[in-house]
Structure 1
Amino acid sequence: MKLLISALAAMSIATASPAVAAERAVSIVLVHGAFVDGSGWKDTYDILSNAGYEVLVVQQPTITLRDDVAETERVIAKARHPVILVGHSYGGMIITEAGDNPKVRSLVYLAAYAPDAGESVSSLGEAPVPPSEHKAPVVTEGNYLLVDRDKFPTSFAADVDAATTRFMNAAQLPWGLQAVQTKVDRVAWKTKPTHYMVTSEDHMIPPTLQRTMAKRSGAKVTEMKSSHAVMLSHPREVAAFIRSADTSATE
């Protein structure tokens, strides 16, 4: 009887465990933005991994754009398959250059900067903002930028649970001025299939600017009613959008 109970318990555990799909022929590389690190991708990572993708997360320091691009290219080199390169926020600056790598198949921008040659975060931030929209409430501390701590919850992640937002605020990663002011040289969206998710409730990168960058890049565009932290508030939708850039199943 004990053996039978053990066997039934084992079968129950096996049935309850989610099945992981067979590995797909595409790798996904996730690049975080400013003020946060790669841990914000956790839910998206789990969904995509369970769908059979090799998912790699870049932990770039956000001090200089050149170093962040180099770190992203190092991770791309580790991928077992052709890469879908995903960038959130400032991560869009990085994937615009690193996406020129021949191993990269397509680009996915999530509430991200999508610069043209000769543009920087600073120059893109000079665009006028409609009265109904907002610019990021950043403050300068030495050679770094941070989000005003009193305004972080409503500006960065208004639709994320309060406990998570408090921790993100306390754990802010300083954003180096060399990352903010450096101009992009290579522009991968001019030669690679591109997808862009606009976050219509964004108080960090104005939605109007997002739409402008998405349109000129020729991206396939979708809009999400979300704060800037879309991968935290809508991980399933973000994962599905990233998967829409995978054309390997039809090739």
Structure 2
Amino acid sequence: MPRTARRRSAITALALATALACAPLTTAAAGPAHTSHLATAPKPTIVLEHGAFADASGWNGVAATLQAAGYTVIAPADPLRGLPQDAARLSAVLASVDGPVVLVGHSYGGAVITQAAAGDPHISALILTAARATGRRS
């Protein structure tokens, strides 16, 4: 793996770990009744969305790190047919996942996850890596 890819994988894994580690703190602030739920809450499924000019294999290092930490990881192929089509395809993938989901998008994948997540109550977090969110899906 080239040096820049290793660095990107390490930075993304660190960002994910930080976001996932902070999530229980936010929930715990809601009150003591939620604290006991944290111990039994399932780990979220991590869905990694690649950018344009790339494919899902770019996430291999990040996926391996997360899987070693006990997370279920999905890195679906993005057909790159246009934002509405790509977001609809990702929404279909998300519909097959039970439980909470953390979406991670790199580059163009940030726009895709932003639109695919709209209105989905199972989405716990969006993580954008070298990406930009877009407005709501029409």
TM-score (norm 1): 0.37
Tell me which amino acid in the other structure corresponds to 2:110: G
Q: 2:67 aligns with which of 34, 49, 60?
A: 49
8 Å CA contact 1:32, 1:89 repeated in 2 = yes
Residue 64, structure 1, aligned to residue 82, structure 2: yes
Q: Distance in 2 between matches of 1:36 and 1:99?
A: 21
Q: Distance in 1 between matches of 2:137 and 2:64?
A: 33
Shift of residue 29 of structure 1?
Answer: 0.4
Q: State the structure with more CA Rg.
A: 1
Tell me which amino acid in the other structure corresponds to 2:88: A
Shift of residue 25 of structure 1?
Answer: 2.2
For residues 83-232 of structure 1, the aligned pairs below 5 Å read: 83-100=101-118, 101-115=120-134, 117=135, 184-185=136-137
Q: Distance in 1 between matches of 2:65 and 2:97?
A: 18
- Identity level (%): 42
Shift of residue 99 of structure 1?
Answer: 1.5
Tell me which amino acid in the other structure corresponds to 1:53: Y
Q: Distance in 1 between matches of 2:73 and 2:99?
A: 10
User: In the alignment, what sits opposite 1:26?
Assistant: 44
- Point out where structure 2 has 5 or more consecutive residues left out of the alignment: 1-41
**CA RMSD across the alignment:** 1.4
SS at match of 2:102: strand
Tell me which amino acid in the other structure corresponds to 1:42: N
8 Å CA contact 1:69, 1:94 repeated in 2 = yes
Q: Distance in 2 between matches of 1:31 and 1:104?
A: 14
Shift of residue 71 of structure 1?
Answer: 1.3
Aligned length in residues: 96
CA-to-aligned-CA distance 1:180-215 (integer Å, 9 cap, x gap): xxxx536xxxxxxxxxxxxxxxxxxxxxxxxxxxxx
Q: Distance in 2 between matches of 1:67 and 1:49?
A: 29
Q: Distance in 1 between matches of 2:99 and 2:66?
A: 15
Shift of residue 113 of structure 1?
Answer: 1.7
User: In the alignment, what sits opposite 2:27?
Assistant: none
Tell me which amino acid in the other structure corresponds to 1:102: P
Shift of residue 39 of structure 1?
Answer: 0.5
Shift of residue 54 of structure 1?
Answer: 0.7
SS at match of 2:75: strand
8 Å CA contact 2:84, 2:137 repeated in 1 = no
* Moved segments of 4+, more than 6 Å: none
